[in-house]
Structure 1
């Protein structure tokens, strides 16, 4: 009887293991060479800068060449494409640089690269120094918002304006029900799994759950997001991004920001509670706050016209024109 039971259990285990193996084989997503991705996604506006740490940073330089400079920084897993709506609507008045952070887009970083929000902020400073950029207004969404305010804190001489869109920084404002991919990131086995698969299904469900109107997240948007994550080394960096020594927002730190500041937020953001918007606005001297009803985590994607208009009005009022 015991022998029979063991055989049954052993058979069930074998079936489970086989099913897991088959599932992994179906889901696995090998790297896509940079050359192929660049041929598809780079444009005549693309530039590359060799920066400290072995980073070859990709950025696009668009808009009015002699206009005031606006630097835009995307969120976790995203790329410079997140800002297409703003580039189209603000490019007639501003010179716009959109960057791909290490582990994202078309930027290359060496194996073992350790990424953090404060490290990303220092890379923006290094890019500005290398390319001799004038003072700029900087905007960031989500993780990129955390990078943006850290640039304003760590390199205030670079910044004449700060725009935070659903920005990271206040740990207590992060919701307790993140997308499945974020849940998997908490575990070493989950990170290992995400490093080896095509994450398109997780990206689709995650992104469409982050916005007020899922229709704005098109299949083409999802496919591009997923393909760029499969650049060599990207998924390893995404799975290992560190909080950084200075990535947590506090009133003491944010009160040092002197640049005029605009805080934009989607009222129904399911990733970072709208309470974070109020905390940023209260902590940064003179900050202006705009909250958008029925909008989620990506206001620059969901309502590009309205947010671009608000940004233009803010920059004009700050004398950045």
Structure 2
């Protein structure tokens, strides 16, 4: 990732782009790290200020015990935003990171004018994590959710990332639950964006899922929300996107063709273009 990595108020971050072009704050998803936004930060950073952060407990801030608390992590990011004088910004989050983004936006509403949920319409998946027995009604969704948690739990060895980058067969075998076409992925970007992924804090998230008021957190969002979803995302259906509209004020609902749950890796140029549009437009 371009831009020097620093730490501010216990939040590891990278910053790039002109300060007079608007500001984007990028928050990764479950088990991710700020590195997942590498190409997005480079492209959006050509015209705007981009701050990508490690959610405390993930990325290089992960601990062996998996210590993590949603409220404390959100408060740390809010303090970070104050220190970096974030104003009138676009808050972008991926997947389960939308819950963290909602918390941050509720703590510091004056700092954000818009939120973007990338692969974040996880209404049914969230309900399933809070009520595991409901997986019996939709075993395929239950298996997909379990796979996401397992994949995010263990730090990925660099040797495995390198092997996947070189082998389309290995990518297809390991990444099929997450992306639409594993064989088409750029190997160098795969290594870069998945470096730092995996944290035992994922287990903590799973164990405390019933205490995370998903609906309440999202309803606290007062800013307009844009949705960006891959058309082949195994976790999100049209029904999820419809249900999310009952929780937040959705202004734009974009779908990326030929894309799964990881648009930042599968279609970074298209995702960056949509994020830039979100930063420029306040209307539907």
Give the whole-Å Cα distance in 2 for the aligned partners of 1:128 and 1:92. Answer: 21
- Secondary structure of 1:92's counterpart equals coil
> Which one of the candidate residues 46, 52, 62 is aligned to 1:98?
52
CA shift at 1:96, angstroms?
0.2
Give the whole-Å Cα distance in 1 for the aligned partners of 2:128 and 2:175. Answer: 19
> Which one of the candidate residues 79, 83, 101 is aligned to 1:126?
79
- Secondary structure of 1:210's counterpart equals coil
Give the whole-Å Cα distance in 2 for the aligned partners of 1:307 and 1:125. Answer: 25
Cα deviation per residue 1:90-128 (whole Å; 9 max; x = unaligned)? 2222100011123433x3356646314443322210211
Q: Counterpart of 2:277? A: 313
CA shift at 1:247, angstroms?
3.6
1:161 aligns with 2:114: yes
User: 1:136–1:227: structure 2 CA closer, same or farther, 3 Å change rule?
Assistant: closer
| Structure whose alpha-carbon radius of gyration is higher | 1
Conservation of the 8 A alpha-carbon contact between 2:193 and 2:265: no
Cα deviation per residue 1:238-271 (whole Å; 9 max; x = unaligned)? 3333546874332x65344221211111122123
Conservation of the 8 A alpha-carbon contact between 1:260 and 1:286: yes
- Secondary structure of 1:241's counterpart equals helix
> Which one of the candidate residues 231, 235, 239 is aligned to 2:203?
239
1:48 aligns with 2:7: yes
Conservation of the 8 A alpha-carbon contact between 1:76 and 1:144: yes
Aligned length: 260
CA shift at 1:197, angstroms?
8.4
CA shift at 1:196, angstroms?
11
- Secondary structure of 1:295's counterpart equals coil
> Which one of the candidate residues 167, 176, 186 is aligned to 2:142?
176
Higher normalized contact order (CA 8 Å, seq sep 6+, divided by chain length): 2
Which 5+ residue runs of structure 2 have no aligned equivalent?
A: 130-140, 165-169
Give the whole-Å Cα distance in 1 for the aligned partners of 2:157 and 2:37. Answer: 27
CA shift at 1:169, angstroms?
5.2
Conservation of the 8 A alpha-carbon contact between 2:23 and 2:89: yes
Q: Normalising to structure 2: TM-score of the pair?
A: 0.75
CA shift at 1:165, angstroms?
0.7
1:213-292 to structure 2, matched below 5 A, reads: 213-224=181-192, 228-229=196-197, 235-241=199-205, 243=208, 247-250=212-215, 253-292=217-256
Cα deviation per residue 1:161-209 (whole Å; 9 max; x = unaligned)? 1000111652237722227754758xxxxx7xx5898994899555343
Q: Counterpart of 2:95? A: 142
Q: Counterpart of 1:88? A: 42
User: 1:77–1:316: structure 2 CA closer, same or farther, 3 Å change rule?
Assistant: same
Conservation of the 8 A alpha-carbon contact between 1:173 and 1:273: no
| Structural RMSD (CA) | 3.4
Give the whole-Å Cα distance in 1 for the aligned partners of 2:46 and 2:150. Answer: 42
User: 1:196–1:131: structure 2 CA closer, same or farther, 3 Å change rule?
Assistant: closer
1:152 aligns with 2:105: yes
Give the whole-Å Cα distance in 1 for the aligned partners of 2:108 and 2:39. Answer: 27
CA shift at 1:274, angstroms?
4.5
Q: Counterpart of 2:15? A: 61
Cα deviation per residue 1:252-304 (whole Å; 9 max; x = unaligned)? 65344221211111122123445322222332125321123332101232222
Q: Normalising to structure 1: TM-score of the pair?
A: 0.67
User: 1:45–1:274: structure 2 CA closer, same or farther, 3 Å change rule?
Assistant: farther
